[in-house]
Each structure stands twice: as structure tokens, then as C-alpha cells.
């Protein structure tokens, strides 16, 4: 797997860990919004689409919306 994409200007990125398709962990560097939304998604047992999760252009809060998992 290639290194995560990140915003070089803000020097921020997030790394997600899935178990059986369920988001179980998220690490965020200089990405408070990702951390907060990732924590909510983990609590809900969200099963995000892997392609969307890997896309830096897709906000993590989109996985917390009704019908997103």
C-alpha cells in the first residue's frame, strides 16, 4: 500500500484501520476534524467504502450521515 495522501500545505493526514470492513481505529496528524468524525464513526460501527475512505477529497463526516454505511 502506498503512503497516505496528505495536504502538504497543512501537513495533515489521517490513517484508518478496518477490521472486517468496520472502521476500528483512526490516527490523525494535524487533522482534528478527521479525529472527531472518525471517533464518531468508530462508535457507530460504520463500514465505510474503502475507495471513499482512501480518497482525501471525501470528508470523514460523510460516513456519519444516515445511510452512508
Give pLDDT, residue 1: 45
Residue carrying the nine cell digits 474503502 = 50
Q: Which is more confident, 21 or 69?
A: 21
Asked if 17 contacts 28 with a C-beta cutoff of 8 angstroms, the reply is no
Would the pTM of this model clear 0.95, i.e. be above it?
no
For the stretch 3-55, pLDDT in tens is 556 567 778 888 999 999 999 999 999 889 999 999 999 999 999 999 999 88
Domain parsing of the chain, residue ranges: 13-62
Thinking of the domain 13-62, which architecture would CATH place it in?
2-Layer Sandwich (3.30)
Torsion of CA 23, 27, 28, 33, to 10 degrees: 30
Asked if 41 contacts 64 with a C-beta cutoff of 8 angstroms, the reply is yes
Give pLDDT, residue 64: 83
Amino acid at each position: 500500500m502506498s503512503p497516505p495522501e496528505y495536504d502538504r500545505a497543512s501537513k495533515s493526514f489521517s490513517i484508518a484501520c478496518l477490521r472486517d470492513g468496520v472502521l476500528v481505529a483512526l490516527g490523525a496528524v494535524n487533522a482534528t476534524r478527521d479525529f472527531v468524525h472518525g471517533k464518531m464513526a468508530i462508535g457507530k460501527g460504520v463500514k465505510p467504502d474503502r475507495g471513499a475512505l482512501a480518497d482525501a477529497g471525501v470528508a470523514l463526516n460523510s460516513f456519519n450521515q444516515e445511510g452512508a454505511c
